[in-house]
């Protein structure tokens, strides 16, 4: 968490900017030194403002707030590294929102595992009109996620994530199962 830093000096001390008549005035210098102590954290933030909007450099609590500001798909329980990655990828994910790739990337960022996605849609091109329509007649979307140690909260989180990142007209189902462990040699 951010807060005041003991002994933080001001990047622009007011005492040095006072007119010459106050340069040797002890009371004036002590008074503005108190103001410097109050203003130093504000000036420090303003001096480093660009770092606050860079997810890799921003304080963790500010990164969480920034995630809400840019619409990152986070729930507040993910590790800090995953939170920072989701916030950094938010703008890119908004461009591919509603696509299979966008959904897969959103789930990967949230859980750290690539999902298995099956859907009814398809795309085709034909020079002749009234050609056959590819895909299935009824729209459907199913997202399967294999986790090492799944919990009921994972199902709810996946459901919330898919509901937000899927195409708006697409009915969907989600499933979270335990991943198959490979035997060790």
pLDDT tens by residue, 4-43: 667 777 878 888 888 888 888 899 998 988 888 888 888 8
Instruction: Kindly state whether residues 83 and 114 are assigned to the same domain.
Output: no
Instruction: Kindly state whether residues 30 and 83 are assigned to the same domain.
Output: yes
Q: Supply the pLDDT for residue 77.
A: 79
Could you tell me the two tokens for 103? 């959904």
Instruction: Kindly state whether residues 117 and 51 are assigned to the same domain.
Output: no
Mean pLDDT of 123-149: 85
**Which helix (H) or strand (E) segment is 141 a member of?**
strand 141-147
Those residues whose C-beta lies under 8 Å from the C-beta of residue 73, and which sit 6 or more positions away, are 86, 90, 93, 106, 109, 110, 161, 164, 165
Q: Supply the pLDDT for residue 181.
A: 64
C-alpha–C-alpha distance, residues 160 and 111, integer Å: 13
C-alpha–C-alpha distance, residues 17 and 40, integer Å: 15
| Per-residue DSSP letter, 10 | P
| Residue whose C-alpha is closest to residue 84's, from 66, 111, 97 | 66
* Pair 64, 83: CB distance under 8 Å: yes
Mean pLDDT of 167-174: 89
Structural domain of 67 = 26-95
- Last-in-domain residue among 80, 95, 110: 95
Instruction: Kindly state whether residues 61 and 101 are assigned to the same domain.
Output: no
Q: Is the pLDDT of residue 142 over 90?
A: yes
pTM equals: 0.65
Give domain status of residue 61, yes or no.
yes
Q: How many domains does the chain have?
A: 2
* Pair 110, 86: CB distance under 8 Å: yes
Those residues whose C-beta lies under 8 Å from the C-beta of residue 36, and which sit 6 or more positions away, are 9, 10, 13, 14, 15
Residue of 182 and 177 predicted with greater confidence = 177
Q: Supply the pLDDT for residue 116.
A: 95
Those residues whose C-beta lies under 8 Å from the C-beta of residue 153, and which sit 6 or more positions away, are none
């Amino acid at each position: 968490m951010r807060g005041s830093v003991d002994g933080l000096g001001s990047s622009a001390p007011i005492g040095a900017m006072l007119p010459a008549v106050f340069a040797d005035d002890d009371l004036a210098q002590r008074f503005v030194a108190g103001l410097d102590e109050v203003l130093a954290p504000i000036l420090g933030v303003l001096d480093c403002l660009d770092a606050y909007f860079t997810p890799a450099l921003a304080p963790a609590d500010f990164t969480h707030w920034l995630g809400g500001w840019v619409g990152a798909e986070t729930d507040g329980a993910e590790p800090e590294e995953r939170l920072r990655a989701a916030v950094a990828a938010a703008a890119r994910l908004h461009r591919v929102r509603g696509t299979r790739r966008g959904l897969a990337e959103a789930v990967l960022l949230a859980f750290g595992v690539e999902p298995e996605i099956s859907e009814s849609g398809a795309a085709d091109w034909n020079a002749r009109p009234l050609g056959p329509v590819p895909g299935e007649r009824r729209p459907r979307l199913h997202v399967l996620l294999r986790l090492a140690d799944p919990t009921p909260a994972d199902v709810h989180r996946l459901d919330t994530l898919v509901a937000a990142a899927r195409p708006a007209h697409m009915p969907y189902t989600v499933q979270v199962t335990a991943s198959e462990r490979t035997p060790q040699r």
